[in-house]
Amino acid sequence: MNTSRIHTNGEAGLIAQSWVAGTPSRCVGIRPARSPRNRSNSPEIQNRIFEQEKTERTEKGSAVAEAPAREEGKSPFSLFPPVQEIPLLILNGLRQFRSVRPDAERGVGGKLSSKRHARGPVLIVVMWIAFGLVGIALYFAHSMEMELRAAENQVDSLQADQAIEAGAVYASNVLANMINTNMLPNTNNYLHAGVKVGNAMFWFIGRDTNDSQMSHSLPEPSFGLVDEASKANLNAKLYNNSTNSLLIDLPQMTAYTTAAICDWRNTNTTPSMGGAKNETYSMLTPPYVFKGAKFETVGELSMVYGYSMDLLFGEDINRNGAMDPNENDGTARPPMDNQNGVLDPGIFEYVTVYTREPTNYVSAGATNNRVLVSNTNLLKGFLTTNLSSQEATTYMNALGKIAPNSVLDFYNRSQMPESEFMQIEPMLMGPNTVGLINVNTATVWALACVPGISNLYAPAVISYRQGSGGTMSSIAWLKDALSSYGSNCITQAGPWVTARSYQFTADIAAVGAHGRGYRRVQFVFDCSGGSPQIVFRQDLTYLGWALGRRIHDQLLAGNLK
């Protein structure tokens, strides 16, 4: 036998020797194969096989122990089998090793221990870990879905913002085209509801001043631009005196609230009867002082003593001029309302601070000064230039020695034909140019603030205007509407009324794609300078939905695209 080869494969020899001794060696890291005899899962069969194999190993071990450890003259390696048989012995030993379970897995008497049965709790732990991982995956999937929806809503909001800006530009163009007429544009001549801008849409939230009583009982708002001259101007000289101010005829107004308006803008420090000055404002929390100057915005009324949100906005909490469901349900939802089916919008609906007329006009591309009717010399020269000399003399003689106090007074006293008067009316003006109320668009409450009309004749004036189609462009018809009440009414009303409008509100509401991303912004345009200029802008999105239930449902159903 070649001993050097045996030494070279000493490790294999040790493995073979361990198998001869009946003890399997596991130090070489070779994983034994499972014996076919051990494939049964029955504990009884496995225990029987184990006992049989244990007996065989014992017998083999005894035979080796009884053999002489070394014979005379033989090599110490003679106990090992021939080298060529070692691989076969190793293979057989590995097979037997895989068929025998380690004693550590068996208990007393060679029976299987409880370690085998410990695999059940491990399975439960693995399942809980799997459930946890699935839950985490679902959580992050839901989070990603919410992020996706939030991103889509953000995109829709940006689309609505751009639609608002597009609506403002469009409104400016519409108003620029009517500069020469100075009248509220007819809604038949421009787009005003559901106007598409890409995937977004916008609406002009308007008012129906011809029949405000009816519009205030409808669940849907009117659409279109709003004429600021249809309202009473808080800065008008007409309302400087708190004792006879006709603002008291506005809804829910009292002598105290009327006096508070006058005291807020008057410079004197002595309060009027029922009014409020610094003594009153210094007692508020926090204290402040009265302004002593003209109103700059209508919202400034909220700082005037005695003006609560109920007085300003009434039942119209979202300021859209329509009867929304929560505005006709009593005390169920804010605001508190009388549940009578008719909206009470408060005084905010009927007042403004922006109206004023220019002192010039544009004709044939040239700018000319308007003629002051109270200046009889200028008036006579103007009539002579634009009419015949004979007609000018006739009209001036009809006026007598008393100069007209307004354009309406001139028309009433000169006895000029209506057709001829309408041709020169835009070139005439009265002494007062601030806060004139347009009789062609004014509400019944605004007309009630006009001397000579008041709340006594305002309903009759509205009825006359409705009977004439409600689309008049001149002030001449007011003479006929008031003629039955005496010429004194015309003389008193003349200085405070007009048929021209130069300031308009575009209350624009918009939504992005899929009806989401609602936005609402209010713009006030001043056209008195010859081109539309934005003089006021306010975001009203915080007031909530203002387009009515019908449009809301149509957007949800996808019927408005």
Query: How far is the C-alpha of 220 from the C-alpha of 518, rounded, in Å?
Result: 17
Structural domain contains residue 254: yes
Structural domain contains residue 467: yes
* Same domain as 322, residue 188: yes
Structural domain contains residue 206: yes
Q: Where are the alpha helices (DSSP H) in 182-238?
A: 212-215
* Same domain as 456, residue 544: no
Q: What is the pTM of this model?
A: 0.75
* Same domain as 506, residue 491: no
Query: How far is the C-alpha of 291 from the C-alpha of 263, rounded, in Å?
Result: 9
Q: What is the pLDDT of residue 260?
A: 93
Task: List phi, psi (to 5°) of 309.
Answer: -65, -35
Q: How many domains, the chain? A: 3
Neighbours of 112 (CB within 10 A): 15
* Same domain as 244, residue 217: yes
* Same domain as 479, residue 533: no
Q: What is the pLDDT of residue 348?
A: 94
User: What is the longest distance spanned by two Cα atoms in the chain?
Assistant: 169
Among residues 467, 498, 529, the one where a domain terminates is: 498
Q: Which contiguous run of DSSP H or E holds residue 410?
A: helix 407-414
Structural domain contains residue 135: no
Q: What is the pLDDT of residue 88?
A: 58
Pair 352, 298: CB distance under 8 Å: yes
Query: How far is the C-alpha of 517 from the C-alpha of 155, rounded, in Å?
Result: 8
pLDDT tens track, the chain, 561 positions: 444 443 444 444 444 444 444 444 444 444 444 444 444 456 667 667 767 766 766 665 554 445 444 444 444 444 455 555 555 555 565 555 455 455 444 444 555 455 555 677 888 888 899 999 999 999 999 999 899 888 998 999 999 999 999 999 999 999 998 877 788 999 999 999 999 999 999 999 999 888 777 788 889 999 999 999 999 999 998 888 766 678 988 988 999 999 999 999 999 899 988 899 999 999 999 999 999 999 999 999 999 999 999 999 999 999 999 999 999 888 888 888 888 888 999 999 999 999 999 999 877 677 889 999 999 999 999 999 989 899 999 999 999 989 999 999 999 999 999 999 999 999 999 999 999 999 999 999 999 999 999 999 999 999 999 888 666 789 999 999 998 898 899 999 999 999 999 999 999 999 999 899 999 999 999 999 889 999 999 999 999 999 999 999 999 998 887
Helix axis angle, 86-99 to 10-20, nearest 10°: 50
* Same domain as 325, residue 262: yes
Burial of 243 from C-beta contacts in 10 A (0-12 / 13-18 / 19+): exposed
Q: What is the pLDDT of residue 407?
A: 96
Structural domain contains residue 144: no
Query: How far is the C-alpha of 417 from the C-alpha of 395, rounded, in Å?
Result: 10
Among residues 498, 513, 539, the one where a domain terminates is: 498
Structural domain contains residue 130: no
Structural domain contains residue 83: yes
* Same domain as 64, residue 25: yes
How does 147-157 read in b/e, with b if 16+ C-beta sit within 10 Å? eeeeeeeeebb
- Tell me how far CA of residue 170 lies from CA of 164, 174, 230, 518, in angstroms: 10, 6, 22, 19
Q: What is the pLDDT of residue 30?
A: 43
Sorted by sequence, the CB contacts under 8 Å of residue 447 that are 6+ apart come out as: 437, 439, 453, 458, 461, 462
Task: Give me the domain span that covers residue 61.
Answer: 3-113
Pair 449, 250: CB distance under 8 Å: yes
* Same domain as 553, residue 450: no
* Same domain as 310, residue 377: no
Residues in the chain: 561
Neighbours of 167 (CB within 10 A): 26
* Same domain as 516, residue 473: no
Q: What is the pLDDT of residue 338?
A: 87
* Same domain as 212, residue 180: yes
Among residues 478, 498, 518, the one where a domain terminates is: 498
Could you check whether the bond before residue 426 is cis, i.e. omega within 30 degrees of 0? Answer: no
* Same domain as 300, residue 415: no
Structural domain contains residue 538: yes
